[in-house]
């Protein structure tokens, strides 16, 4: 892009009488009109994902173009503070980690020059807006396009028709430019047509009813078919030979949601290009790769034959054939019956999307070392036995451009001084050494980021926090396995100890929670209410000047950028074995927060790199949990721990009220009784005493500010590994076999 031309355009803009939205649109449109999408002249990779949690694109894109500072200055001179664009909605086309990871990958690929193109759905409404009303979560539609979508280019002429048995829809692509050393694109399809509206109305429509499941299947097929149709047409128009597809293409399936792409690919090869089934399967095997992002059984998609057959009979047919084909292959290599069942594409009248992906993919990867080990040993153990070379680990990463440069320009400037050209080569962060100057400057910057965070919370939510307190944050989707409830209990334990005078030297602390609960996930909503009840009680206790609790309302990418830069302690306390990786842990590490967490997901690699002595690891390990299953009895555990019992009883003894909804009692029951799952399925109570100890230890250590800053510096210096630049380079080299161009 011609930077001068662009900056002159911004200088010449007349802002009198125009709205924030108009300024935003004018600047964005000007940038887009001066950019050219890079053509796919070589082998390239395609990332298919049902979620992209992009966040605010304005600042990030201007930064990527290298004009953010200049635009900030020009606007300043015209009396416009660039922060006003914070009110433009985030593009929140994702729920959490999986979608944010996809966005980080696209950023890194463009920055490093890899030809990687994202494909997704252009939902009308993104992840709901969370409003906390009387402590409870209410969901409101997120109309993210209401200010326009100036960074996307509609490509009407590249639309294609997608056929369902009962109706057709038109898939219209919009390209969102991804700016870096190369300009790639995130292509989002919008459905047009009489019946089409529902398909891209909402991200993650509830799938607890048959109607909901059908809609979800339609979304998945819509995305898969629009993408595969385009890739094949593109390939044919250039090379006119379908069997060379895999020479130029490589497809990464982000979790199981786009797995129908495999069936669509085989359908097109066999029915349109008259390729035999065997050859079509072989071509698919060379083209697809799959990333698994969770071992939670609820999230492993299995679709009823009946449902797929009802709207996509050809796809059902291909999947059945593929099932028979794979069974024949396994019979030939004398697999045992139970192994065959565990790997089966079709079982119990359902299609297993994960097994379909594992069978076809050349590469199946987990997202952190421990997670990859678990999928190899447990979830996909039979496949790992017969196809060991498929399985790989690629530990996640996050883009340090958004999660350090953009959200913490002060720390970035310090790193410029002490670590050299780390922005281009993240591994240079190693040069950020412990020195008197770095300690002093880091402490200053953290204090500043905490003041900025405090101002932001005050502005956004009207809550005043003490910016000199220790900031502990627990920010992520609400889920029982992530154990926000355990943090809530831990806070109560500490609070009661302060009240009763048992704890006298507690350093003032602020606990920030942030996260959304899926609309139909009642227990998670109950946990939000419980946290807000605790916050109400503690924050309104006039005698308390030691603890403050904030529930960050409508936690999203933009809010995350502020909280992450301003936190001292990163709470990563999932039940060991359950968090595939986590990526918030990496963002916090980069910003100099220490991790207080369990040996789970990428926490393990974080402490390996940054040193156990610089972080706070506690709690049951995967091996401990394996031993505990079957013997652990939370009720007798509580009997032995009266303090814990007292705290847990606040769920049912009237201390807090859920306004008659029954949520708190249900949570209590989930901890103490066997319902459809074991009592305290996530070992909240089991790990609670060690957690409280850990939080107190952090609190004590914090008092020695320099020593604490040294821990932070060691975390930052060792965070280079967790840049998605490294992750993307691994995918490019080991899986996609694409070059940076």
Task: Tell me, rounded to whole angstroms, the distance of Cα 614 from its chain centroid.
Answer: 25
Residue span binding ligand 26V (CB under 6 A) among the ranges 176-184, 289-297, 453-461, 679-687: 289-297
Active site residue 477: yes
Beta-carbon count within 10 A of 338 CB: 9
Q: DSSP string of 659-672?
A: TT--HHHHHHHHHH
Q: Binding of ligand 26V at residue 287 (CB under 6 A)? A: no
- Helix ranges (H only) for 519-672 are 522-539, 557-565, 584-590, 603-610, 622-628, 634-640, 642-649, 663-672
Stretch 99-138: interaction string toward ligand 26V, x if CB under 6 A: --x-------------------------------------
- Helix ranges (H only) for 473-621 are 484-499, 522-539, 557-565, 584-590, 603-610
Of residues 185-244, which lie at the interface with ligand 26V (CB under 6 A)?
A: none
Active site residue 482: yes
Spell out the residues 6+ positions from residue 512 whose beta carbon is closer than 8 angstroms to its own: 471, 472, 473, 474, 475, 550, 552, 563, 567
Residue span binding ligand 26V (CB under 6 A) among the ranges 220-228, 279-287, 522-530, 576-584: 576-584
- Near ligand 26V by CB under 6 A: residue from 287, 289, 396, 727: 396
Q: Which is nearer to ligand 26V, 52 or 265 (CB)?
A: 52
- Near ligand 26V by CB under 6 A: residue from 61, 252, 256, 294: 294
Spell out the residues 6+ positions from residue 248 whose beta carbon is closer than 8 angstroms to its own: 42, 43, 44, 235, 238, 239
Active site residue 583: yes
Beta-carbon count within 10 A of 656 CB: 18
Task: Give the C-alpha separation, 42 to 51, whole Å.
Answer: 26
Give 19-23's long-range contacts (Cβ < 8 A, gap of 24+).
Answer: 20/84, 20/85, 20/87, 20/88, 21/88, 21/147, 21/148, 23/80
Q: Which is nearer to ligand 26V, 96 or 115 (CB)?
A: 96
Active site residue 460: no
Q: Which is nearer to ligand 26V, 84 or 296 (CB)?
A: 296
Beta-bridged to residue 595, according to DSSP, are: 570
Active site residue 464: no
Q: Binding of ligand 26V at residue 308 (CB under 6 A)? A: no
For the record, the structure tokens of 50 come out as 């049902």
Q: Binding of ligand 26V at residue 572 (CB under 6 A)? A: no
Which of 125, 121, 117 shows the shortest CA–CA distance to 41?
117
Q: Which is nearer to ligand 26V, 18 or 299 (CB)?
A: 299
From the candidates 476, 483, 516, 548, which is the catalytic residue? 476
Q: Binding of ligand 26V at residue 367 (CB under 6 A)? A: yes
Spell out the residues 6+ positions from residue 46 whose beta carbon is closer than 8 angstroms to its own: 116, 117, 118, 119, 227, 231, 249, 250, 251, 252
Q: Binding of ligand 26V at residue 41 (CB under 6 A)? A: no
Q: Binding of ligand 26V at residue 283 (CB under 6 A)? A: no
- Near ligand 26V by CB under 6 A: residue from 515, 601, 619, 720: 601
Break the chain down into helix, strand, coil percent, rounded to 5: 55, 15, 30
Which of 244, 58, 132, 173 shows the shortest CA–CA distance to 514?
132
Q: Which is nearer to ligand 26V, 487 or 583 (CB)?
A: 583
Active site residue 587: yes
Q: Which is nearer to ligand 26V, 243 or 302 (CB)?
A: 302
Question: Taking CB positions, which residue lies at the least distance from ligand 26V?
Answer: 97
Number of residues that bind ligand 26V (CB under 6 A): 18
- Smallest gap from Cβ 280 to ligand 26V, in A, equals 29
Q: Binding of ligand 26V at residue 299 (CB under 6 A)? A: yes
- Near ligand 26V by CB under 6 A: residue from 308, 580, 709, 716: 580
Q: Binding of ligand 26V at residue 96 (CB under 6 A)? A: yes
Main-chain dihedrals φ then ψ at residue 181, nearest 5 degrees: -60, -35
- Near ligand 26V by CB under 6 A: residue from 187, 218, 267, 293: 293
Catalog residues that contact ligand 26V under the rule CB under 6 A.
96-98, 101, 255, 293-294, 296, 298-299, 367, 396, 579-583, 601
Q: Tell me the catalytic residues.
A: 293, 476-477, 482, 583, 587
């Amino acid at each position: 892009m011609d930077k001068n031309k662009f900056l002159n355009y911004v200088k010449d803009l007349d802002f009198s009488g125009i709205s924030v939205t108009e300024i935003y649109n004018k600047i964005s449109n000007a940038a887009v009109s001066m950019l050219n999408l890079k053509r796919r002249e070589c082998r390239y990779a395609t990332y298919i994902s049902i979620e992209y949690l992009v966040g605010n694109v304005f600042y990030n894109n201007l930064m990527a173009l290298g004009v953010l500072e200049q635009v900030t200055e020009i606007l300043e001179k015209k009396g416009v503070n660039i922060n006003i664009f914070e009110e433009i909605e985030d593009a929140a086309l994702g729920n959490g980690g999986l979608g944010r990871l996809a966005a980080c990958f696209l950023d890194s690929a463009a920055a490093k020059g890899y030809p990687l193109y994202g494909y997704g759905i252009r939902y009308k409404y993104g992840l709901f807006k969370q409003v906390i009303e009387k402590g409870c979560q209410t969901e409101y539609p997120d109309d993210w396009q209401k200010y326009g979508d100036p960074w996307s280019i509609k490509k009407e002429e590249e639309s294609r028709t997608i056929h369902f048995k009962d109706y057709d829809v038109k898939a219209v692509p919009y390209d969102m430019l991804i700016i870096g050393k190369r300009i790639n694109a995130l292509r989002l399809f919008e459905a047009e047509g009489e019946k089409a509206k529902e398909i891209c109305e909402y991200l993650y429509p509830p799938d607890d009813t048959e109607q909901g499941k059908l809609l979800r299947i339609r979304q998945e097929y819509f995305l898969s078919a629009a993408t595969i149709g385009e890739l094949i047409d593109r390939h044919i128009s250039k090379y006119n030979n379908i069997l060379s597809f895999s020479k130029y293409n490589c497809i990464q399936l982000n979790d199981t949601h786009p797995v129908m792409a495999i069936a669509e690919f085989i359908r097109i090869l066999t029915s349109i290009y008259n390729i035999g089934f065997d050859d079509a399967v072989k071509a698919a095997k060379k083209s697809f790769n799959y990333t698994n992002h969770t071992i939670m059984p609820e999230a492993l998609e299995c679709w009823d034959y009946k449902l797929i057959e009802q709207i996509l009979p050809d796809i059902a047919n291909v999947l059945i054939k593929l099932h028979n084909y794979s069974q024949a292959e396994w019979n030939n290599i004398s697999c045992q019956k139970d192994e065959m069942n565990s790997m089966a594409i079709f079982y119990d009248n359902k299609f297993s999307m994960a097994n379909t992906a594992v069978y076809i993919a050349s590469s199946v990867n987990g997202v952190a070392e421990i997670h990859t080990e678990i999928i190899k040993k447990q979830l996909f153990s039979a496949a790992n036995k017969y196809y060991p070379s498929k399985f790989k680990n690629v530990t996640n990463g996050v883009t340090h451009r958004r999660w350090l440069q953009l959200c913490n320009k002060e720390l970035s400037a310090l790193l410029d001084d002490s670590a050299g050209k780390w922005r281009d080569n993240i591994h240079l962060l190693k040069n950020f050494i412990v020195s008197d100057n770095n300690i002093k400057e880091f402490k200053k910057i953290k204090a500043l980021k905490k003041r900025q965070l405090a101002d932001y919370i005050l502005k956004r939510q009207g809550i005043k926090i003490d910016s000199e307190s220790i900031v502990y944050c627990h920010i992520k989707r609400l889920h029982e396995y992530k154990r926000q409830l355990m943090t809530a209990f831990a806070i109560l334990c500490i609070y009661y100890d302060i009240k009763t005078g048992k704890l006298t030297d507690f350093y003032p602390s602020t606990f920030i929670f942030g996260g959304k609960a899926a609309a139909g996930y009642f227990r998670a909503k109950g946990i939000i209410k419980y946290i807000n009840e605790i916050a109400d009680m503690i924050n309104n206790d006039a005698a308390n000047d030691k603890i403050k609790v904030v529930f960050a309302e409508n936690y999203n990418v933009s809010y995350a950028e502020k909280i992450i830069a301003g936190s001292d302690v990163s709470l990563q306390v999932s039940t060991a074995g359950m968090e595939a990786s986590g990526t918030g842990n990496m963002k916090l590490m980069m910003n100099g927060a220490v991790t207080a967490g369990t040996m789970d997901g990428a926490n393990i690699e974080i402490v390996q790199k940054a040193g156990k002595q610089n972080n706070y690891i506690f709690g049951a390990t995967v091996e401990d949990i394996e031993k505990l299953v079957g013997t652990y009895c939370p009720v007798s555990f509580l009997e032995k721990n009266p303090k814990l019992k007292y705290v847990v009883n606040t769920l049912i003894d009237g201390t807090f009220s859920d306004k008659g909804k029954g949520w708190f009692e249900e949570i209590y029951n989930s901890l103490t009784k066997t319902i459809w799952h074991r009592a305290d399925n996530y070992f909240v109570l089991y790990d609670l005493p060690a957690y409280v100890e850990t939080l107190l230890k952090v609190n004590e250590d914090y008092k020695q500010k320099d020593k604490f800053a040294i821990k932070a510096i060691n975390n930052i210096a060792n965070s280079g590994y967790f840049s998605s630049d490294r992750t993307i380079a691994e995918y490019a080299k080991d899986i996609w076999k694409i070059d940076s161009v």
